[in-house]
Every structure is written in C-alpha cells, then in structure tokens.
Structure 1
Amino acid sequence: MGKCNIEKQFVDYVMENKENHYRLALSYVKNVDDALDVVQESIYKAISTVDTLKNPGYFKTWFYKILVNTSLDLLRKRKKLVVVDDEVLLGFDSGTFDNCEDIDLQKALDNLPVQYRSVVVLRFFEDLKIEEIAVVLDENVNTIKTRLYKSLKMLRIEMND
C-alpha cells in the first residue's frame, strides 16, 4: 500500500472521529485549548510516522496511543492539578442524564489517579476493548483488567460518599 493512500485513509479516519479524539484529550488535560493542541500535535506526530503503520485496521489503537501519550506529556510539562470549570463539565452533558449526576461522576473520575482514569475513559467513554486499552497504554491485559476493577471500586466508593 502506497504512502499517499495510507495517509488519505488516516486523514479520513481522523475526520470521521475528531469528536472522540477531542473528548479523549479533554478527559486528560481538562482544558479546551490544551485539548485542541493535543489533538493537533497528535495528528502531526501520526502523519509524520504513518508510513510505519503496517495495517490501517489498527488506526484507532495506534492513534489513541499517540493521543494518550501526547496528553500525558502535556500533563508532565504542566506538573500541576487542573480544576475543571463548569463550562467544560456541561460540554460532557448529552442532555439525557441528570446534570448533577454527570458532574458528580466527572468529579469522581477526576479524583482517580491518571492510570485508573485512563482505563475507565478508554473502556467506557471510548468503547475500547481490554486488549486495545493494553496496547494504547502499553500494559499487559491482566494489568488493565486489575486497574479497571480497582477504578470501578474506587468510583463506587467515591460516588456513595
């Protein structure tokens, strides 16, 4: 498969899934402008290395890995806790749930350590399979299963409080 063809497939994939990519970045960096920067930088990184991808069927996990790592790089550079403002939280509201519950869930998620929050976001908000999460986070499947179990337990405790 030619480089131009795989680049076009990648651009098509990015355009079809841009909302998901933005939402994933926002779940990490908690800031609209930073999330846009993360997505833009991730696309740049991906396009510059797209010829290394052997199978376009792996665009999703491959790009999510780039997106997560770029988000974590930004957080490391910042080295500070970011408070989510109400406008960002309301952006997560689909209108089908009680807004108070959404905010409580978002606060509970924000209180999880990043490795646990990552697993929950990728599994339940991005609908990745356990195996795909393991690839994205560069961990083994059992570690992901354990983190998912622990994070759900922590969320239950936090939400009950």
Structure 2
Amino acid sequence: MFNQSLFKKAQQGDKKAFLHLIEIDKEKLYKMAYLYVKNENDALDIVQETITKAFVNMSTVKKEKYFNTWLTKILINTALDVLRKKSKIILLKEEMVEKQSPDMRIEEKMDLLQAIEQLEEKYKTVIILRYYRDLPVQQIADYLNCPEGTVKSNLHRAIQKLKQFYQGGQVNEQGY
C-alpha cells in the first residue's frame, strides 16, 4: 500500500524512501514495459530508465495520489522512445489474450496477437491500457495526456481494425 510519509521523504530526496515506493510497483512496471518490447533486457532497461527519470524529477509530483499515474506516464513515454529508437513494433504477451478469453483456441490467440502487433502505436497503446491493464478511459487519457474523446476514438478504431483483420482484410504497416 502507498505510504504518505514515504512519499514526502522521497520528494525531499531520500533514496531509501524512493526505492521503497518503487518496490511496491516494480513488478507492474516490468510487466507493462515487457508488453511494449517483448524482450526481457529491453523491459528491464525501460524500467531502470523510468526509475532514474522518476527519481530525478520526484519533486515535480504535486500530490501523492498522482504518483502512480505519473510513474506510469514516464514508463509509457520511455517505452515508446525505445521503440522509436529501435524502430520496433509493440509485441504483446500471449498471457494478455489468455486473460481476456481463456477458452480461446491457441490459433485464435495467435491471430489476435498478430493483428494487435500490426496496429499503429497509438492503437496498440490504448488496447494494452484498456484490455490488459483494465484501466478506465479517463485514466488512459490522463496517462497519455490527451482528451477522453481521443482515447475513445482510438479504442473504437483499434477494435474496427481488429474486426477488419478477422474479416480477411489484413492490417497494413500503418495500422489500416
């Protein structure tokens, strides 16, 4: 659980308090980073860079209730930066599909993963946050610094593109 006194100490530069706050979310951070890069080493690098950026900028967090949102934003932006630098696409774990539909055949799961991997970055991101992290649209909008309407539109378009994929029209590199 989140500890308010730890947060205040971390904001004042206490490394131990900051590391304890990070310890609470480290597994969640790693899993999310892994969803973006599907590579253990890259995911660990993203988490490490996220923690470094967060420590340096800890004093910018206005209230403790925003800490997790702020930390997740840093992770998302860091992961997207790594992907841009390496010109990779976002790959997803098979577990994501299993979580959503445990009775789905393995072939269907692989088709869904393939379809999601072909989506544009912005569509993959909203799909990951909405259906893997099970976040509400408002929180996704906060994470991505965009209006809720944009998140809803991107989710709708992503779902339409996935439907198109299943109806035989493959999604191209641009996510169309």
Contact 2:35 2:93 in 1 (8 A): no
Is 2:129 the partner of 1:116?
Answer: no
Aligned residue number for residue 151 of structure 2: 144
Local SS of the residue matching 2:57:
helix
Contact 2:137 2:152 in 1 (8 A): yes
Counterparts of 1:129 and 1:13, CA distance in 2: 24
Which one has a larger percent helix, Structure 1 or Structure 2?
Answer: 1
Aligned residue number for residue 60 of structure 1: 68
Amino acid in the other structure paired with 1:4: K
Amino acid in the other structure paired with 2:35: S
Counterparts of 1:68 and 1:158, CA distance in 2: 26
Aligned residue number for residue 157 of structure 1: 164
Superposition RMSD in Å: 2.7
Q: Which runs of 5+ in 1 are unaligned?
A: none
Task: For CA contacts below 8 A with separation 6 or more, give which structure has more relative contact order.
Answer: 1
Contact 1:116 1:151 in 2 (8 A): yes
Aligned residue number for residue 22 of structure 2: 14
Counterparts of 1:93 and 1:154, CA distance in 2: 17
CA pair 18-159 structure 1, distance change in 2 beyond 3 A: farther
Amino acid in the other structure paired with 2:39: N
Aligned residue number for residue 47 of structure 1: 55
Contact 1:9 1:56 in 2 (8 A): no
Matching of residues 86-125 of structure 1 within 5 Å = 89-90=93-94, 96-97=102-103, 98-125=105-132
Local SS of the residue matching 2:62:
coil
TM-score (norm 2): 0.75
Q: Which runs of 5+ in 2 are unaligned?
A: 169-176
Counterparts of 1:157 and 1:51, CA distance in 2: 46
Is 2:9 the partner of 1:4?
Answer: yes
Contact 1:116 1:147 in 2 (8 A): yes
Contact 2:54 2:71 in 1 (8 A): yes
TM-score (norm 1): 0.81
Counterparts of 1:16 and 1:80, CA distance in 2: 29
Q: Calculate percent identity across the aligned residue pairs.
A: 36
Contact 2:97 2:113 in 1 (8 A): no
